[in-house]
Structure 1
Amino acid sequence: MNKKPAVFLDRDGTINEEMGYINDLSRVRLLPGVAEGLKLLQDRGFKLIVITNQSGPARGYFPESLVFEVNQLITRRLAKKGVKLDDFFVCLHGPNEGCNCRKPNPGLVLQALEKYPIELEKSYFIGDKIVDVETGKRLGIKTILVLTGYGKGELKYVAPKKGIYPDWVAKNLKEAAEIIIRNL
């Protein structure tokens, strides 16, 4: 089976507007340029895999089912613009549960590698938090921090504190896609 490179994507703040906890479908809004950026990557043969921490259910804020309804809504909205997300891998644990799947731990990406033939060396991780960058770094893949969502503050305050920096910084997902395509 031929391996394909993947772009691993954070969800909230990267694909859709950062809203804190999305506790209602009416709060789901795709960020500008997301569909265009994902289409560029899809057309270049990248698998598009969302890797997301969603601790709202563990905290008792809303049912687990809502996380999957949000994912389905995002999938439908992107499909209307010609984008097919390959999969979502979700950590539903709270931050203190010690699981291997909560970013920056690599568990969700490792699950994706078990399910799909992915060429990790040519893959990327895009997100709006340093935890996304750290996940990519732990796997030895290139990383892009988008300045949507928490990106600006993360770059300014969290990156220097942790000493973890992305390979590139992009204003949004469309610019991140353009960076990837320029580096093929």
Structure 2
Amino acid sequence: MTKAIFLDRDGVVNVEKNYLYKIEEFEFIDGIFESLKKIQSLGYKIFIITNQSGISRGYYSVDDFEKLTSWMLEEFRNNEIVISQVEFCPHGPNDNCLCRKPKSGMIDKILKNYDIDLKNSWLVGDKSSDIECAQHAGISNTIQVKSGHKFKNDDSKADYICESIKDIDKIIQT
């Protein structure tokens, strides 16, 4: 079984910008490459799971999302980081789908392709819906970062809170 780290995209991987789909507006969170290299060296597979309701709202298309994702994955490869799979939910909050976080459908899809040890895996998100998704999926370890949506520490249900993804390697050490 493989241990994994599941990352939300907006606010965790990149700077939060509403309905981001343009490469020229995409900005990686400072320190992400160094941090993920350390995590990867510990034997973690890296996955990205992201709600993309801008698709259902008509702000951008699946093709727009896939172009940005291809570019992002290439940037990770250029920095010697392997993202094993990206899953996205194109639905809106009222569509009652199984994939939109806090539901665990995106993680369930990944589990069809990989034998993952959820008890020794992590999810990093910036919203309570990310943390709830981890809990629904059976992921034991959670980190909520402050680099995306604002929240009060007391309101977080995450196991750990840190400023951004650049700090997760101080928490995940084995």
For normalisation by structure 2, the TM-score amounts to: 0.94
Residue type matched to 1:7 in 2?
Answer: I
Preserved CA contact (<8 Å) 1:95 1:102: yes
RMSD (Å) for aligned C-alpha atoms: 1.3
Alpha-carbon distance between aligned partners in 1 of 2:162 and 2:70, rounded to the nearest angstrom: 26
**Residues 1:180 and 2:172 aligned together:** yes
2:56 to 54, 58, 70: 58
Give the unaligned 5+ runs of structure 2: none
Q: How many residues align?
A: 173
Deviations 1:96-121 (A, max 9, x none): 11001000001110111111111111
Structure 2 match to 1:139 = 137
Cα contact 1:30–1:74 (8 A) shared by 2? no
Distance 1:138 1:180 in 2: 21
Does residue 1:13 correspond to 2:11, yes or no? Answer: yes
Matches of 1:178 and 1:74, distance apart in 2: 25
| TM-aligned CA deviation for residue 23 of structure 1 | 3.5
Q: Which residue of 1 aligns with 2:97?
A: 99
Is 1:171 equivalent to 2:169 in the alignment?
no
Percent of paired sites with the same residue: 32
Please say if residues 51 and 90 of structure 1, whose CA atoms lie closer than 8 Å, have aligned partners that are also in contact: yes
**Structure 1: unaligned runs, 5 residues or longer:** none
Q: Once the 2 structures are TM-superposed, how far is the Cα of residue 51 of structure 1 from its aligned partner? A: 0.6
- The residue that corresponds to 1:154 in the other structure is 151
1:47-96 Cα deviation digits (max 9, x unpaired): 10001000111101111111111111111112111111111011111111
- Which of 86, 89, 110 pairs up with 1:88? 86
After the TM superposition, list the runs of 4 or more consecutive aligned residues in structure 1 that deviate by more than 4 angstroms.
none
Q: Distance in 2 between matches of 1:177 and 1:130?
A: 21
